Amino acid sequence: MFSKSCEYGIKAIIYITTQSLEGRRIKVGEIAENSDLPLAFTAKLLGILTKVNIVFSQTGPNGGFYIDPERLREIKLEEIVSAIDGNSVYEGCGLGLSHCDAENPCPLHNDFIKIRTELKTMLKTTTVFDLAMKLKSGESVLVR
């Protein structure tokens, strides 16, 4: 459902969140390694997420990527998806048809609208803090 870029960005942000909760700034290599992501691609995605103030970067020996403590519990998945993929997750035909709408629906059209509505709700209500807590508690994993 998400692009590979978006999947990678979400994984990186979840890892950064777990470390930011402990007051740590994380180097891109550590993020990539602990999220099982390609290093160069991770750096590119973090650049995008830094530009939209989801994540911050500090240079120097104690530098690295981090999330502002005041924002840790506020960042919704929708912000990350929007920054990386735009609105593409909410648009387009479920079967990939070039023209599909209410007047000319594909066989999946009406069911796909329901799924997208639920997805949008989940992205708007789920915070990276929620996901980081699942990771920290052992309820979920970030790498296989």
Q: Is residue 30 part of a domain?
A: yes
Quick: pLDDT tens for 54-66.
Answer: 999 999 888 999 9
> Residue 111 above 80 pLDDT?
yes
Torsion angle (degrees, nearest 10) of CA 72, 75, 77, 78: -170
Phi-psi region of 53 (alpha: psi -120 to 50; beta: other; left: phi over 0): left
Domain count, the chain: 1
- From the list 51, 58, 112, the residue with the least C-alpha distance to 84 is 51
Compute the distance between CA of residue 107 and CA of residue 122 in angstroms, rounded to an integer.
25
Half-sphere exposure of 8 (CA within 13 A, CB side): 23
pLDDT at 88: 82
Q: Is residue 142 part of a domain?
A: no
For 127, phi and psi rounded to 5 degrees? -100, 160
Q: Residue 107: give the domain boundaries.
A: 4-137
Q: Is residue 144 part of a domain?
A: no
Q: Is residue 143 part of a domain?
A: no
Which residues face 65 on adjacent strands?
A: 26, 57
DSSP 102: S
Q: For position 24, which CATH number holds?
A: 1.10.10.10
Instruction: Please give the model's pTM, rounded to 2 decimal places.
Output: 0.90
pLDDT at 39: 96
Region 87-94 average pLDDT: 84
pLDDT at 143: 84
Contacts of 77 (CB under 8 A, 6+ apart): 10, 122, 123, 126, 127, 128, 131
